[in-house]
Chains A and B, each alone.
Chain A
Amino acid sequence: MADADCMRCHANGQLKAADGRPMQVNLTEVAGSRHVKVACSQCHSEVNASRVRPCETITKKVDCTACHEEIGQQYQRSTHGLLHAKGDSNAPFCKDCHGTHHVLGKHDPDSRTFPTNVPDVCARCHREGQKAALRYTGSEHEIIGRYNESIHGKGLLKSGLTVTATCTSCHTAHREQPASNPESTVNKTNVPDTCGSCHHGIQEQFMQSVHSPTQTRTDKPLPTCNDCHTAHSINRTDRDQFKLGIMSTCGRCHEKIAESYFETYHGKVSRLGYTKTAKCYDCHGAHDVRRISDPQSRLSRTNVVSTCRKCHADATRRFAGYLTHATHHDPQKYPWLYWTFWGMTGLLVGTFTFSGLHTLLWLPRAFQMRRELREAEAKEAAEDEGPASPSGASPPEGGR
């Protein structure tokens, strides 16, 4: 059926559906779209050309899967598709993201699905307060605002860097599933692959590190990319905020070791707000963090001195023996520090007790001396008053 047949009615600006929706179609919208070669009836199927009004036989809404079959299958398994199948009115369908007649390819800057436009499309439902955000019960909040301020958001929106990760880069366009689903691209097990699709070199390092499940078998949770970098508010790692925050980030799991770090010079300086001091990753490495017993570790016997030399140019092996996580609270592990600390504390308590007591006992006598002194002074002044008055001790009359 030719488009012209449809346009006999649908060019009319007064045409309205039974429920009042305007039914006018602007054919130029279709002409400039990806579907320029697609006829009306290819999407609006079920038309019967033999009728006077061929469209009266239409029973179903437009189904894109007739052509986009594979994408349709993906969509059906996604959270969006599952909700749609349940008849949830909040669930987005193809046209909610792609539009209708003026559908454009994702490489066209005017397209709703062009990278720089994707956050806006998703934000329509996922911005805080909108319908998707309202029904969400997980821990990620303010995702649009945080994404916009993140290194990805700034790269995409401020610099127009279209290869920057946008919503669909991590969550996919049609297969988005909750992180709890093992098939989800943002499931813990899949995050390294997802991030690694851009950060390939980092992923390679990470997979060899002690944090990778391929290297460490443990019941305890292992961290993945977003545990340190967060999911949406990802900071630049050369910013102070990230550098100073890393200790508490690592400290979430390595609690004791982070605490004792803050007892050393490096930790104290970092606490004052300065980044030019050894932080966790400066010694342990970031993505390539390995067990110290691993010869490839930056802190292995062969590498530790050169690691110290990054800051302390002339460091020697003995210098590297400095205890960077020492605490004076552990008599078993650090007896020297423990006993030095308590020796010094004893000296302090002893000295202050002795001199404090000395001072306290002195006080009443000192007050007594002060009283006697004042009395003597008063007496002396009284004696002086008499003979001294004519020579000027009393103020002369009229002298101003």
Chain B
Amino acid sequence: MSATDTELLQAVDSPAQTLAPGRAIAPARTDVRVAAPAREFVRFTRLYRTLHACMIISFITLALTGMSLKFSYTGWAAKLSHLLGGFETAGYVHRFAALIMFGTVVAHITGLIKQKRHGGSTWKAILLGPNTMLPTKRDWHDFVGTVKWFLGRGPRPEYGRWTYWEKFDYFAVFWGIIVIGSTGLTLWFPVFFTRFLPGPFINVATIIHSDEALLATGFIFTVHFFNTHLRPEKFPMDTVIFTGHMPVAELKRDKPREYASLVASGELEQHLEEPQPEIVVKAIRMFAWTALAIGFSVVVWIVYAMVFAYR
């Protein structure tokens, strides 16, 4: 363990003392640790937390309204459709949720542009820097290393800010929005699109829209849920995307490369914040549990519809 490491581990216990020598924080704090909880690492800004919450709401809404049509042959679908106010209302709700999702894409891209302007960095630095969202050679090595670790043939790789499965999730969403969004628009405005596309393209778009949606819901509600929330060391959920915060010890354990580079550059301190108030965390947990519960119910319904009631 390096000297900085030891220092920082202490910092986790009493951040005021070791990490912020320049700041005027009463030294008495060290004695009342219960009253002043450890500061946490800010992984997600408010914008990304909001965008993720919007994604959850729109995605679940789209899944429920869409699946009620896709699995119309199950008794569940008719009940759900009536509950949502009938197929016409469900259709409007579906399109409205789609607009929210398109909105998150616009907000995300706008956010990136703003980030570039404020940070004063170039696109090259953002896209090719160490914290890039784009897949890199290092990700490939991490992937190979991870498989080796799974098989007991090597140590756990030192992941950076974005692990390869997180990048996969991110681009899966991008891909999904492009594929489902474009075919969805075709189905929304069939008369317009058949001005330049042949009529049967609407049939093709229906298949793509519906099956890609099945892939997206199936993936998010099982693989994503497991990889980020249900995996044993995070169980039952990882709230970092909701609160934006994670304990520094967890950063060090989960993203050692990011942690090391923040320590090396001395920037870690800038990324620490007081934890969210108890009530906020409670509300967040309730929201996240609701989302998880609906997601799992949809998975159960899909399995039932595709395995036991398939027509």
Contacts and interface: CB of A to CB of B under 8 A. Distances in A.
Contacts of B215: 344, 347-348, 351-352
A328 B191 contact: no
Interface in A316-335: 316, 318-323, 326, 328, 334
B72 A322 contact: no
B58 interface: no
Nearest to A391: B31
B87 interface: yes
B206 A265 contact: yes
Interface in B12-61: 31, 34
B219 A351 contact: yes
Contacts of A334: 200, 203
23 contacts: A265-B69, A265-B187, A269-B69, A272-B69, A272-B72, A272-B87, A273-B78, A273-B81, A315-B191, A318-B199, A322-B199, A322-B200, A322-B203, A344-B211, A344-B212, A348-B218, A351-B215, A359-B226, A364-B150, A366-B232, A367-B232, A373-B233, A391-B31
B194 A322 contact: yes
Given A318-B199, A322-B203, A355 B78 contact: no
A352 B77 CA distance: 24
Contacts of B207: 328, 337, 340-341, 344
A318 B194 contact: yes
B278 interface: no
A74 B202 CA distance: 61
Contacts of B255: none
B198 A274 contact: no
B282 interface: no
Given A348-B214, A358-B165, A366-B232, 18 more contacts: A264-B206, A271-B78, A272-B72, A272-B77, A272-B78, A273-B82, A312-B191, A316-B191, A316-B195, A318-B195, A319-B199, A323-B199, A340-B207, A348-B211, A348-B218, A361-B151, A365-B149, A365-B156
A359 B227 contact: yes
B232 A276 contact: no
Contacts of A273: 78, 81-82
Contact of A345 (B72, B187, B211, B223): B211
B309 interface: no
A11 interface: no
A355 to B, nearest CB: 4
Contacts of A345: 211
Nearest to A347: B215
A365 B150 contact: yes
B223 A321 contact: no
B222 to A, nearest CB: 8
B231 A362 contact: yes
Contacts of A347: 211, 215
B232 A268 contact: no
A361 B150 contact: yes
A276 B88 contact: yes
A268 B187 CA distance: 14
A299 to B, nearest CB: 13
Contacts of B226: 359
A319 B191 contact: yes
Nearest to B311: A262
A9 B69 CA distance: 82
Interface of A: 262, 264-265, 267-269, 271-274, 276, 312, 314-316, 318-323, 326, 328, 334, 336-337, 340-341, 344-345, 347-348, 351-352, 355-356, 358-359, 361-367, 369-370, 373, 391-392
B259 to A, nearest CB: 16
A363 B227 CA distance: 10
B129 interface: no
Interface residues of B, number: 49
Contacts of A340: 204, 207-208
A370 B232 contact: yes
Contact of A321 (B147, B199, B206, B208): B199
Given A326-B203, A341-B211, A316 B232 contact: no
B68 interface: yes
A276 B88 CA distance: 9
B199 A392 contact: no
B70 A268 contact: yes
A321 B202 CA distance: 9
B73 interface: yes
B235 interface: yes
B199 A272 contact: no
A369 B70 contact: no
Contacts of B181: none
Given A272-B78, A319-B191, A344-B208, A363 B70 contact: no
Given A271-B73, A322-B203, A362-B150, A314 B233 contact: no
Contacts of A312: 190-191
B205 to A, nearest CB: 9
Contacts of A320: 199
A355 B207 CA distance: 23
B231 A366 contact: yes
B86 interface: yes
Nearest to B150: A361
A364 B149 CA distance: 11
A247 to B, nearest CB: 13
Nearest to A312: B191
Contact of A337 (B87, B204, B214): B204
A370 B233 contact: yes
Contacts of A348: 211, 214-215, 218
Contacts of B202: 322
A271 B219 contact: no
Interface string B130-169: 0000000000000000010111000010000000010000
A351 B231 CA distance: 19
B302 to A, nearest CB: 11
Nearest to A371: B232
Contacts of B203: 264, 322-323, 326, 334, 336-337
Contacts of B197: 318
> Which 10 A-B residue pairings sit nearest by Cβ, starting from the closest?
A321-B199, A344-B211, A361-B150, A370-B232, A268-B72, A319-B194, A271-B72, A322-B199, A318-B194, A355-B223
A351 B216 CA distance: 10
A21 B260 CA distance: 117
B194 A321 contact: yes
